[in-house]
Amino acid sequence: MHLNPYGEDAVNLAADLANRRPATHEELAERCRAAGMVLETPVTPQDLERVHAVLDAWEKVVDTPGEHERAELVNRMLAESAAYPRMTDHAGGWHLHYRDGRQPLGAVLFSLISVGTALHLVGRGVHRLRRCAVTECTMIFADTSRTGRQRYCSQRCANRDAVRRHRAGHRAGHRTDHRDGPGGGRPG
Ligand SMILES: [Zn+2]
Ligand SMILES: [Zn+2]
């Protein structure tokens, strides 16, 4: 996985892993490969433990809406995880790594998620990382939309909330004005 200027793949991988935590280190390895990562070292149960700790810290970032508090948490993750950037072509194609060579997967994900999240927040907007607006839905998403006003994790949740707001509106007595209904049409 190459870090693009907006860190999109890395921040999406973090959301995917946080939303559905991997149960085993084999599953972790499989999902990282599926996301396009080239794994350089054998994956162990310690990597899984490390990743859970990283995701716990990352979810705190998600749940901290204040811009400066949020940036402070990301900065702490960067300080602990990232080394100076360096060029590599280990996976074909030159790109940057913000870490030392041949690190275990847990450490690689720590720096990838920290740097990717930082790039996303500075490149697209500090507010563009959140949980779904549907109260019972805890899904996290990185808002990569054009407008930066995505509120739901999925179209399904958007529809769910629209139906609910419509019903709430009716209960409160706000009737929709059906102008084109029977009796409201054109004369003749
Ligand atoms: Zn690489
Ligand atoms: Zn949702």
* Span from the CA of 133 to the centroid of ligand 2 (angstroms): 7
Distance (Å, whole) CA 101 – CA 23 = 27
Closest ligand to residue 141's CA: 2
Confidence band for 10, pLDDT divided at 50, 70 and 90: very high
Closest ligand to residue 91's CA: 1
pTM: 0.86
pLDDT above 70: residue 186? no
Q: What are 126-146's pLDDT values in tens digits?
A: 999 999 999 999 999 999 999
| Of the candidates 5, 86, 104, 28, the residue with the CA atom closest to the CA atom of residue 14 | 28
Please give the CATH topology (third level) of the domain spanning 8-130: Jann2411-like fold (1.10.3300)
* Span from the CA of 138 to the centroid of ligand 2 (angstroms): 7
Residue 188: per-residue pLDDT: 37
Longest dimension (CA), the chain: 80
Choice between 98 and 186, residue whose per-residue pLDDT is larger:
98
Distance (Å, whole) CA 26 – CA 87 = 29
* Span from the CA of 160 to the centroid of ligand 2 (angstroms): 9
* Span from the CA of 154 to the centroid of ligand 2 (angstroms): 6
| Of the candidates 152, 179, 153, the residue with the CA atom closest to the CA atom of residue 165 | 152
Confidence band for 114, pLDDT divided at 50, 70 and 90: very high
Percent pLDDT > 70 in the chain is: 91
Average pLDDT taken over every residue of the chain: 90
Q: Output the six-digit token pair for 172.
A: 């409160």
What region, left, alpha or beta, does residue 157 occupy, with left being phi > 0 and alpha being psi -120 to 50 degrees? alpha
Residue 53: per-residue pLDDT: 98
Residues with Cβ within 5 Å of ion ligand 2? Answer: 132, 134, 137, 139, 153, 157
- Compute the average pLDDT of residues 19-40: 96
pLDDT above 90: residue 171? no
